[in-house]
């Protein structure tokens, strides 16, 4: 499986939450902006590492759901989400 990283730039996110409808791992954070919660998906048992700072959220996954993450990124009207492969 491909290991991939999802980054949300908080300065670019304005809480439209189009990403939430494409990938259930995206949720509204306490600050009113998008964040990632691997346990939020009601269907898949998902694991991932998430770092949430004042500037950005970085989540790393090792599963077969990169296309869902890419769809969430593509749905973001402010281009605040970047998905990139980081290895196998």
Is the pLDDT at 1 greater than 80? The verdict is: no
pTM for the predicted model, two decimal places? 0.92
The structure tokens 């964040």 sit at 35
* Structure letter (DSSP) for residue 44: S
CA distance 45 to 17: 22
Which residues constitute the domain of residue 38?
Answer: 3-87
CA distance 16 to 34: 8
CATH number at residue 38: 3.30.70.20
The structure tokens 């949300």 sit at 8
pLDDT digits (tens, 9 = 90+) for 32-86: 999 999 999 888 888 899 999 999 999 999 999 999 999 999 999 999 999 999 9
In the chain, the number of structural domains is: 1
Copy the structure tokens of residue 42.
């009601």
Does residue 54 come out as left (phi exceeding 0), alpha (psi in the -120 to 50 range) or beta?
alpha
């Amino acid at each position: 499986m491909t290991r991939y990283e999802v980054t949300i730039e908080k300065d670019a996110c304005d809480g439209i939450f189009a990403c939430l409808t494409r990938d259930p791992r995206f949720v509204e954070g306490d600050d009113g902006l998008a964040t990632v919660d691997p346990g939020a998906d009601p269907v898949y048992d998902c694991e991932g590492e998430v770092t949430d700072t004042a500037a950005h959220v970085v989540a790393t996954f090792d599963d077969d759901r990169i296309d869902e993450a890419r769809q969430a990124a593509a749905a973001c009207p402010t281009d605040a989400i970047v998905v990139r492969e980081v290895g196998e």
